[in-house]
Amino acid sequence: MDLPVYLCTQRRSMIKVLLITYYWPPAGGGGVQRWLKMSKYLPDQGVDLTVYTPENGEFPGYDPSLVEEVDPRINILKHPIWEPYSLFKKFTGKKSNSYNALITEGEKSSWKQDLAVFLRGNFFIPDARCFWIGPSIKYLSQLLETHTYDVIISTGPPHSTHMIALGLKNRFPKIKWVADFRDPWTMIDFYKDLKLTSWADKRHHAMENKVLSTADEIVTISPSCADDLMGLANRPIQVIHNGFDEEDFKNAAPPLDSDFTIVHIGSMNKDRNPRVLWEVLGQLIEKNPGFAQFIKIELVGIVDGSIVESIQKAGLKNQLSVIGQQNHKAVIQRMRSVQILLLPINDIPQQKGVMPGKMYEYLGAARPILAFGLPDSDTAKLLHDTGAGNLFGYNDKKGLEEYLDKAIKTYQSGRLEVSSQGYLRYSRKNLASKYSELLHKLVS
């Protein structure tokens, strides 16, 4: 097997880490951000990083501008992957290559969508990237036979990355393994919608349990997610949050919008529909017709049709703008110019531990955050501790009315501001330092 020459000449004084990730530039969206941003600072923390990623992955979104952010000190290995998405798109007529789109769209699903979901859950285990597992274990085993690594990190979803790492751990037990869970596996919100047979459900759980019991360390992104995983694994779980990159905010901020803009950045599915907000805004405009001139709602990214319908039913059709996906640099600048950043957390039973990656970039943007979710959630605690915004329950109409009344008056009388504090602990640089400490301790 021909391997890059640089693999033979790496510095021996640093911890050598092999990261297995599906999402890597030019992939766009939230899945790529954690490790793209973390990797920029790890070399300064004593980590010699090699990234293993697909050569030809099919991503829900692309952002070629992120290629420029890959640190030149990082070694990149790529290997081909076969995925069934082209077949599914042709079969269902869907343009998206995300199975989530088959599950979460607002309109009634067709029999083709139902069949696609059934096949996804029962035949592609743990996910549609499962065809990458065997070839990757073979390819990386050849690498590990001739090149020394101290730690393997697998980051999922897709959880096929963990199965690759598990296969390598079985062959090379002396190498330490960190399983990094950006999202849950069997406890993720759409798991119940996968139309699983009892056999498939047992298979998913068996794979998950094997990963949780075999990895040397388990890392996840929030305290509540750690508690959930601890309940499955009966072992300590490390928490290393997502964060924001200070480098993204080093340039001067653009001027604030002259309108009272409430803006959501990123995907917005039907479980993130703050109907109470649309209701209150509609009633405010009905009572104060002049408000219609300056209240604006902007949704940037993929938006479920049911959310647009809810906004229009509230009488806010003229206030709404729906903008498609934008590159990362563009959305960062947009975050910094809005009056209020909207952050609805998935209205699901597992929402306590949901901490969206964009929330941390909202912190970096230093604009007021209006969130919806559970008052005792991890997100609510973070917003309270940093002073970065306010969170309301999905049915807290009174509290929301009081908040918007005050916010609009502040906007009209001057400048709507936020006084955040302590949020720098969530910078990517600080979080990379925390990850480096974990890795060094693991191999010491």
Q: What's the pLDDT score for residue 90?
A: 57
pLDDT interval class at 110 (50, 70, 90):
confident
The phi and psi torsions of 428 (rounded to 5 degrees) equal: -60, -35
| Residue 22 reports pLDDT greater than 70 | yes
Other CB atoms within 10 Å distance of the CB of residue 19: 27
Least confident range from 12-21, 148-157, 232-241: namely 12-21
Q: What's the pLDDT score for residue 112?
A: 73
| Residue 148 reports pLDDT greater than 90 | yes
Mean pLDDT value across residues 134-139: 98
Do residues 314 and 279 lie in contact, with contact meaning Cβ atoms separated by under 8 Å? yes
- The candidate with the shortest Cα–Cα distance to 237, out of 184, 310, 291, is 184
What is the Cα–Cα distance from 101 to 269, expressed in whole angstroms? 9
DSSP states along 130-150: GGGHHHHHHHHHHHHHHS--S
- Which tokens belong to 276? 């109470």
Q: What's the pLDDT score for residue 191?
A: 86
What is the Cα–Cα distance from 229 to 244, expressed in whole angstroms? 25
| Residue 439 reports pLDDT greater than 70 | yes
Do residues 78 and 55 lie in contact, with contact meaning Cβ atoms separated by under 8 Å? yes
Question: Sheet harboring 320-323: ordered strands across?
Answer: 320-323, 295-300, 260-265, 340-344, 369-372, 389-392
| Residue 192 reports pLDDT greater than 90 | no
Q: What's the pLDDT score for residue 33?
A: 93
Do residues 333 and 367 lie in contact, with contact meaning Cβ atoms separated by under 8 Å? no
| Residue 101 reports pLDDT greater than 60 | no
Quick one: which H or E segment has residue 164?
helix 160-171
Q: Residue 366 — left, alpha, or beta (φ > 0 → left; ψ -120 to 50 → alpha)? A: left
Q: In the chain, pLDDT over 70 holds for what percent of residues?
A: 91
Q: What's the pLDDT score for residue 106?
A: 41
pLDDT per position as a tens digit, 356-397: 889 999 999 999 999 999 999 999 999 999 999 999 999 999
pLDDT interval class at 166 (50, 70, 90):
very high
Mean pLDDT value across residues 206-226: 97
Q: What's the pLDDT score for residue 164?
A: 98
| Residue 308 reports pLDDT greater than 90 | yes
Report the mean per-residue pLDDT for the chain: 90
| Residue 9 reports pLDDT greater than 70 | no
Q: What's the pLDDT score for residue 105?
A: 41
| Residue 229 reports pLDDT greater than 70 | yes
